[in-house]
Each structure stands twice: as C-alpha cells, then as structure tokens.
Structure 1
Amino acid sequence: MKPPRFLRSIPRQELFFISLILLLALSLRLYRIDDYLTFLGDEGRDVRVVRNILQGDPAFIGPQTSIGNMYLGPLYYYMMAPFLLLWNFNPVGPAIMVALLGTLTVAFTWWVGRTWFSPLAGLIAAFLFSISPVAIIYSKSSWNPNPMPFFALLAFWSLYQAWQNRRFLYLLVLGISVAFALQMHYLGLLLFPPLGLLWLVALKRYWNTKDRYSFVKLSLLGFLSFLLLMSPLLLFDIKHDFPNYQAFTAFFTNRQTTINLNPLNSDRFLLVLNKLTDDLVMATSHSYLTLASVTLITLSLFYLIRTSKDKKNFLTLLLWVVTGYLGLVVYKQHVYAHYFGFLFPAYYLLLGVLLSRLISSSLPARFLAVALLLSLSYIYLQHSPLHSPPNNQLSRTQAAVDQIISASGGQEFNFALIAKRNYDESYRYFFELKQAPLVRGEDRLTDQLFVICEDGDACQPEGNPQYQVAIFGPAHVVESWQLDHLKLYKLIPSQ
C-alpha cells in the first residue's frame, strides 16, 4: 500500500525514524492506561455528563474552573462522547482518546518542525516530546486541559498556512482550533496576542494584493466559526443572567489576588521561567533550572542572530513562547503544568531547532548537541511517570462500588464519601452505571448508609459533619471493610 501523497517525498530513513518515535510515544501513553489514569471526582463528573449527552440530554456548558468560578464550553464533553460509547461507558475510552491525540500531537510537532526548520529539527522535537514525562502524564487521563497542545499547535500551523502559503481556507481551521483551545482551558486566551499579531502581519502582506478579498472573507468566516462553537456558552449565559460574564469581570478586576496586568511590576519572572524549564525541559528534576533557562535563552539569541533562511519561522516560535511566558508571569496564583499546555509543542520545537542547528555546526558544537540530547533523554526516561506504581483509581473505585452493592442486599441505601481532596462523582457514576438502588440523602433517607473513607483509619464516620452523613442522623457502624487504602463502613440508624 502506497503512503499518503504528502509523505511520498519524505526520505525513507526519516519515515523509519518518525515511525519508531510515534510507536514509542503511543506505547508510553497507552501502557497500562486503565491502571494509571486519574479517576476522581472531576473525571466522574465528566463521564456522568457525557453519559447524559449520549442518552439525549445535551450540555451547553463544560466544567467549572477552579479559579474564578467560570464555566468552560462543552466541546470537550462532545470529544469524549464517541469514545465513552465505543468502550461501553468504561471511562478508559476517553482516556484512550487523549492518548491517541497526544501521539497525534507528537506527529504534528514533527511535521511542523520539518516544514518550518529542518527534518532533523522535527525528529528531535518529536522524540523529546514523545518521552517527556509531563507530556506522558497529561496524555494518560481524560481531562479537559489535556488536548490543549494539539489545538494550540493547529492554530499556529493554520495561520502559518494562510500567511505564508496563501491557503486561506486554513483561516477557518484557525477559528475552529482557537475555539477548541479556549474550551479546553481559559489559559488559551494567551494564544490571542501572538496569533492576533501574526494575523495583522499577514493582513498587511495581502492588503495591497488581489488576495486581500479572499484573506478578509475567510478571516470573517473563521471568526464566525469561532463564534458558532462558542455559542452554547453564550446561550447559557444569556439564559442564566450572565454568570460567566460576571465571573470574568470579577477575575480581571480583582487584581490583588488574580492578575497583574503590568508585567514590569511582577516579581515572578524567574519563578515562572524556572517552572517552565523544570516541567518542559528538565522533567521536574529540579536541577540546574536557572542554568538550563539561561542556556536555552542564550542559544535562542545566538540562533536568531546567526540564522537567515528560517528567521521568520523562528521569530514566530519565539513570539509564541515569549507571549505565553509573559502571560503566565502576570498571573498571581500558582502555575500548574496543565496551565501551559499551549506551550508544550513550542518548547519541544525550540529544543529541536537549537539542537539540530548545533549538530549541523562545527565538530565541538556537534559533540555538545549530542551530549545535551543524550542528557535530556536520560533525564526524561529516569523521571518517567511509568517508574511510579499505578494509582489503580479506576479499578479501586469499581471494587468499592461492587462491595457496597453486594453488602446492600439489593435494598435501597444512602451513600457518603469522606475525603479531603475528592468528591463522590466517580463513585456515583458506577452506582448509576450498575443501576444500584442508591438514593440521595436529600431525596429520601433509607435504613442503611454506606460511607467510603479515603483517609484511612483517621476517618470516623459516626457523627461526621460531612453533609450526606449528617443528614442521615444518629447512626452507628455495623460492618466495615478494608479495600487498599479505602475504608468502607455500613451504618444503620441508632435507636
């Protein structure tokens, strides 16, 4: 079977290496994914919503943000839906979707790297991306921020195609990809400055040419595509007195705790720089972060000064990285790795470009590049999340639910979860999936209450102030079970 047309001009040796890299990326992301995936309250909430969508109850909003109490759009739920259905409502299905999309992002990074710079740059970027611990972690679970790298890369690629190659239909793809990125996480807003600036540069290029009409028309259609995909969120806001608008307003006006709109007044420059370097370059090894950051900046400046043929592409890449960095600097809260998913491809492209340039330079520079590449590979593999034992959250949740259903004797029961860092949606999903006779305490009290304690023996269910326990009233434990670190209790009303 012949390869696709766009691959036929690529040397077989390059195709061989990228095939090995993609096989490695896919293997690392799919390896025991059902054991490693995260399945807590947020994930349980998501699959409950998606199950309802598949049963005919559409969703107009997505998850609520942890900061600012804003709602995301529902696109991620609709991405999950076919995979949850194909896997017969097993939550591993959407996680596999994320793993496949993560591998596709590695392939896309290779393609962008070889197109913008060189085949070697693309291969190095894809290889480092494939074994990056942070990329693997966020490709093994179903969570709305996890597809962000793909849509961020697609947005830049689409604008590049319109700007450099006159393929204006890609402006439609630009609008769609930005809408998806923004609905994965609101840090996607940091894509707007670089994309907006590049769009203005492209507009200037075509303004006095015969292509002006096509560029403007397709830009408007791309913007309409963006608005169409964001419309469910807008309709929800209109119907419910604009809670999202009010939350956004509060977020950007309450600057004492959220943002500082003047980066020059920030004291977070080094903190954020080291955070990005630690997670994306040094694999959370917490070693030599300032040195690694300075080295990356120095090599970037050196490349910018010395290069000529692909300077425009390198400036595009730097614009992506620098504006994203400055956006994170003005944010006053803690910066987590999933916040800067939109920078994942950019960082590995930057590493690929710089290392490939060193390899094509003098012999000492070549030795330095090989040493750096081997060192990074060693660090990434040494800190791979697959060295850690799996969390088994999915199987443990199912086992706890099965134990409670068995102990309930087929009779109605109430349920409560006592946990410091979790809530009960993951358990409720399986109770509903297995059609257990679960009754919410606020709807009706039964003769038995089952309590899961995720904090072990430190948890005391009798008289606990947790809402579902408290509304059950005075009760005492009649049975208990130990399941891994979980403690399960059966309580009945006290006479």
Structure 2
Amino acid sequence: MINYLNSVYKKIKKHPAKILIVLVLLLGAWLRLSYFGDYLRFNNDQARDIKVVQEMQSGNWPLLGPKAGGTTFNLGPAFYYLEFLSGLFFGFSPTGIAFFIPLLSIASIYLFYLFFRKIFSLPLALGLSLLYASSFFVIKYSRFAWNPNAIPFFLLAFFLLLSQIYNKEKLSWLDCLLLGVVTGIGVQLHTTLLILMPAMLLLTLGLMLFYKIKSDFPWTKITLLLIVIFTLNIPFVYGSLENQGENLRAFFSGAQKKTDNELSFFENLGNTATFFLQGTFYTLTGQAPKSNWLNLSKMISLRNFQELTQLCLSLVFIALGFFAFWKKFLKNKKDLLSKNFSSFLLLTFSLLSFFLFVVIGGELNIRFFIILIPIPFFLLGLIVQQFLKRNSTPKQIVAIFCFALLLGNNFFIYNKAYALENYQLPLSVYGGISQKELNSLCDSIKKISGENEARIKKFEYGRSLEYICQEKESLRISFVSESKLSQEETFFVIVNKDRKKKNIDHYKKSTRLVAEFETGRFALLVFRK
C-alpha cells in the first residue's frame, strides 16, 4: 500500500499540471451536473424545442432552426440536431435532450486551458481556467438547453483551431476538417456568429496567404474546409430556398430593423460600451448588474452605491486590461502576428464584435455576452501578467487574494441561485422555472383535479407546465384569462410566493380558497365558488 501511494505521489510530482487541470475539470463538472435534472431550466422555448425533437423521432426533420431573437429569421437547424443526438444517448426527455449542453461546457474548460496556455504561463493559464470553470455566468448558461448555450465550446474550439492552422508550418487535413465542422455548426447557433466566424476565418486565411505562406498555399485543404462548412449548412440553404427565399428576406429585414432604431450613433456607442462593461463584470464576479449604467444621475439620486462601485471597477478593469495589452503587444506589432496570434484573434474578435454591436446597440441584452466569454479572462490574464512582471511574494499574495475573491463570489451566487426552496435573489438570476418546480406543480394539480381538465389562470410558463403535466401525469390543462375566471367553478392560480397573500386577498372576495401548495419559488392556489 505504501509503495502504491509513493508511486502515485511521484506521478503527481512529475505531472502536476495534468493533475491540476483534471481537478479543475472535476470541479467544473460538479458545478454543471449536480442536480442537473431537478434544476434544469425548462421555459416556454424549451417546451417548444422538445416538441420539434419529438417530431424528428417521427422522421420530420426540420430544415431551419430556432428564430433569431426579435426577428422572423430562422438560424440553421444544427441545434435541433444536437438535441436529437443527445436524446439518442440520454433519452428524449427534457433532461436527456439538454444533457449535451453541460457536457460541451465541461469540454470547453479544457479547450479554454489549451488556448490560454498559448498566451500565458502555466500557473496563470490554470488560474484563469479555474475561474472560467467556476464563473456563475458560464455555469448558468450550461444548465439548460438554448441554442447560444453551446457557443463557448464551439467558439473556443474555433479560436484554438485557427491558431493551430496559422502557426503550423504545414496545414493538416485533420485541422481543416475539424475547423470546418466547428465553423459549420457555430454559424448556426447565433446570428452574430453567422457574421463573425466567417469574417475571422477569412481574415486568418488572408493573413496566411499574403503574410505567412506566400508560396505553395494549401488550396486543396482549404477547399476541404469550405466543403465541410457548406455541407453542414445544406439543410439551412435548402430550407431557405424552399420557402422562396422568405428566410433570407427575413434576415435582411431583421438586420434593417435592428440597424434602423431611433437611437443616435452615440447612444448606440454608449449602449455597447455599457454592454461590454456589465458583461465583463458579470462574467468575472457572478453578479448581474440591474441598473442602466448610462443613467448616472439616476443611480446617484437613488444612492445606488453598489452599482456605481461596479461601474467604476469595470471601467478601471477595462482600462488596465487594454493598457496591459498595449504594453505587451502593441509596442512590437510584428510579434502580435508572428508570436502571439492567439492574442491577435481575441483582440480582433473583440473589435469586430464591438463594431457589430454598435450597429444594433438598441437591441442588446447581457445574455448576448456569451459570445464574448473569453475576453474578460484574457484581460484579467494580461493585468495579472503585467502586475507580476517584477515578481515578488507580496504581489503574488495580492494576485492570489484577488483570484480567491472572484472564486468566492461566484460560489456564493451559485449556491444562492440554486437554493430554490429558500430563494433570496432577483428572479432574473435563475431566469425561469425549473423542471422540479414544474413536476411538483403538476403533482399538486393532479391531486385536486383528478381525471378532470384543470382550468388555470394564464401563467407565464404555461407552455412548459402544459408539456410536463401531459407527459408526467397525462393531465389535461387549459388556461383561462383573468376576465373569464369568474365563470369557473374551480380554478388554479400559480404565483410567486411573495405575491401569494395579495392574490388570496384578491380572489377571496368572490370565491373561497380550498387548497394551497408551495414548491420552490411558486405557490399554487385553488379557488372554488
């Protein structure tokens, strides 16, 4: 036994980095997979998507994917195909078709480490990987099925492969094949990636052609790359042509709608800058800003010192990050392309994203920051690297303390966000309704209604509730508007716990409360004439 332990110790001592990254991966896996089925967010969009996947089981494969937010334009169907593939392995249930999302998120931790190891020292790359694995923002969007939630994996794989094909002396067939797959799927996950990924790919190939490989350019391998991308998008292309180009027209009309907003250029610029500042703060600390940071006078008049502090910290952080970037790279621009192409990719992607978001500045939501996930960690790495340039023990202690502070804050928010039975955060932090809450609501409705159809006041997550109740209890439910509730003999009302008393007082004027149940953040009230 002692000999065995000695051999294990020697292996750990010989390969500490491998052991540490495995521990980081295990932590990331636990944060993403613990109680995954219970705390799975299952909103109306997820109820819609699972019905699409069930249609695929019957042989009705969609040619187009989910609609882009605020438009009638449909993305490619890759997300639905990934859900179907997940269902084949883990079951065609809400949990089963969503299970590929946390798995991709766990894999993205390792991709993150590999990519950032190209930029930073081993200890710093490991520290940043630990922060990425523990970021509440990243974890939140890895615990339910939504097409942008797969972006971190495909984006990091995209950057890693672009860096490899640029830096390798000889382009490999495998790298081109993998890059084709990653790009072909990635452009179908979000409208912004439909623009940004091809732009980054063309820029990299252009630099290879005119800057790095001036002769004997590997055209055949690049052709394979383009063929793979096109092949993966055949359903999207065919589906867009099949409806007489209506989907393509929807893309351009949606783009025009987003660019023709009533805001001025400077208002769009301010919105985009705020978006970057708030997204950076949220990603690193786990705290979602609630106020409009452009409205400084309102924050000051309301004495909202917490968010004023957050704004100041974010401004200082971004300024220090770009100062560190300038010190490291821009003083010697040639090194940026020849020795630090990975950093060049992140800088260029950030700038292109910023310009794109300025165009659609009136349509930004902090959840879109998922396409910029690597950027805050990159800036943090540059700041720490610059800070530790003249290494000393006090500086190392300060850096470790800052990392520990960020980790602790993310763990604190994580524990609060998934404590649904004793929920104390704004509802937007969790962001919807969990499968556990839906199951419990259906059980309680079944106890009262039995085999009869349950009449329920219109509910924000009605589509989700209807799906779960039908699948779990074969329970028929229908939703009734407020104005027609008085016609019902027995009806159900689902409200947040903090609004329970107000609703009881309101409905008891004309009915009597016969039962009430609580589950998670919700209360189910049963009224009868």
Query: Which TM-score bucket, shorter chain as reference?
Result: 0.7 to 0.9
- Determine if the alignment matches structure 1 residue 274 to structure 2 residue 277: yes
Deviation at 1:77, TM superposition (A): 1.7
- Determine if the alignment matches structure 1 residue 227 to structure 2 residue 230: yes
Which one is further off, 282-291 or 479-488? 479-488
Q: Are residues 221 and 379 of structure 1, via their aligned partners in 2, closer, same or farther at CA, if it must alter by over 3 Å?
A: same
- Determine if the alignment matches structure 1 residue 347 to structure 2 residue 380: no
Deviation at 1:223, TM superposition (A): 2.0
- Determine if the alignment matches structure 1 residue 394 to structure 2 residue 435: yes
Q: Are residues 59 and 450 of structure 1, via their aligned partners in 2, closer, same or farther at CA, if it must alter by over 3 Å?
A: farther
- Determine if the alignment matches structure 1 residue 167 to structure 2 residue 171: yes
> 1:198 aligns to what?
204
The correspondence of residues 147-296 of structure 1 with structure 2, limited to 5 A, is 147-165=150-168, 166-169=170-173, 170-188=175-193, 189-205=195-211, 208-210=214-216, 212=217, 214=218, 216-254=219-257, 257-258=260-261, 266-284=269-287, 286=307, 287=310, 288-296=313-321
Residues 310-368 of structure 1, C-alpha deviation per residue, up to 9 Å, x if partnerless?
A: 43332222222232233223322353333122221343244335424544533265455
Distance in structure 2 (CA, Å) of the matches to 1:280 and 1:306 = 29
Deviation at 1:127, TM superposition (A): 1.0
- Determine if the alignment matches structure 1 residue 487 to structure 2 residue 524: yes
Distance in structure 2 (CA, Å) of the matches to 1:256 and 1:334 = 9
- For residue 17 of structure 2, give the secondary structure of its aligned residue in structure 1: helix
Deviation at 1:25, TM superposition (A): 1.0
- For residue 276 of structure 2, give the secondary structure of its aligned residue in structure 1: helix
Deviation at 1:405, TM superposition (A): 4.5
Q: Is the 8 A contact 1:317 1:350 kept in 2?
A: no
Distance in structure 1 (CA, Å) of the matches to 2:490 and 2:65 = 31
Could you list the runs of 5+ residues in structure 1 that have no partner in the other structure?
A: 1-7, 442-446, 464-475
Amino acid at match of 2:277: N
Deviation at 1:155, TM superposition (A): 1.3
Which one is further off, 74-83 or 256-265? 256-265
- Determine if the alignment matches structure 1 residue 379 to structure 2 residue 409: yes
Deviation at 1:425, TM superposition (A): 2.6
Aligned residues: 462
Could you list the runs of 5+ residues in structure 2 that have no partner in the other structure?
A: 1-10, 289-306, 421-429, 480-487
- Determine if the alignment matches structure 1 residue 138 to structure 2 residue 141: yes
Amino acid at match of 2:180: G
Q: Is the 8 A contact 1:260 1:331 kept in 2?
A: no
> 2:399 aligns to what?
369
Q: Is the 8 A contact 1:259 1:330 kept in 2?
A: no
Q: Is the 8 A contact 2:325 2:382 kept in 1?
A: no
Distance in structure 1 (CA, Å) of the matches to 2:231 and 2:468 = 34
Q: Are residues 434 and 394 of structure 1, via their aligned partners in 2, closer, same or farther at CA, if it must alter by over 3 Å?
A: closer
- For residue 487 of structure 1, give the secondary structure of its aligned residue in structure 2: strand
Amino acid at match of 1:335: L
Distance in structure 2 (CA, Å) of the matches to 1:367 and 1:481 = 54
Distance in structure 2 (CA, Å) of the matches to 1:55 and 1:435 = 23
Distance in structure 1 (CA, Å) of the matches to 2:61 and 2:272 = 43
Distance in structure 2 (CA, Å) of the matches to 1:248 and 1:33 = 35
Distance in structure 2 (CA, Å) of the matches to 1:401 and 1:435 = 7
Deviation at 1:138, TM superposition (A): 1.0
Q: Is the 8 A contact 1:259 1:331 kept in 2?
A: no
Residues 387-413 of structure 1, C-alpha deviation per residue, up to 9 Å, x if partnerless?
A: 5523772122123334444555445x3
Deviation at 1:261, TM superposition (A): 11
Q: Are residues 357 and 248 of structure 1, via their aligned partners in 2, closer, same or farther at CA, if it must alter by over 3 Å?
A: same
The correspondence of residues 60-71 of structure 1 with structure 2, limited to 5 A, is 60-71=63-74
> 1:35 aligns to what?
38
Amino acid at match of 1:294: A
Deviation at 1:145, TM superposition (A): 0.9
Which one is further off, 119-128 or 348-357? 348-357
2:466 to 422, 428, 438: 428
Distance in structure 1 (CA, Å) of the matches to 2:378 and 2:372 = 10
Instruction: Return the TM-score normalized by structure 1.
Output: 0.80
Q: Is the 8 A contact 2:494 2:524 kept in 1?
A: yes
Amino acid at match of 1:193: A
Q: Are residues 409 and 63 of structure 1, via their aligned partners in 2, closer, same or farther at CA, if it must alter by over 3 Å?
A: same
For the aligned residue pairs, the C-alpha RMSD in angstroms reads 3.7
Percent identity, please. 20
Distance in structure 2 (CA, Å) of the matches to 1:11 and 1:259 = 61
- For residue 67 of structure 2, give the secondary structure of its aligned residue in structure 1: coil
Distance in structure 1 (CA, Å) of the matches to 2:262 and 2:211 = 35
Residues 32-79 of structure 1, C-alpha deviation per residue, up to 9 Å, x if partnerless?
A: 223332111111112222222234332222222221222122211221
Q: Is the 8 A contact 1:125 1:348 kept in 2?
A: yes
Q: Which has the higher helix share?
A: 2
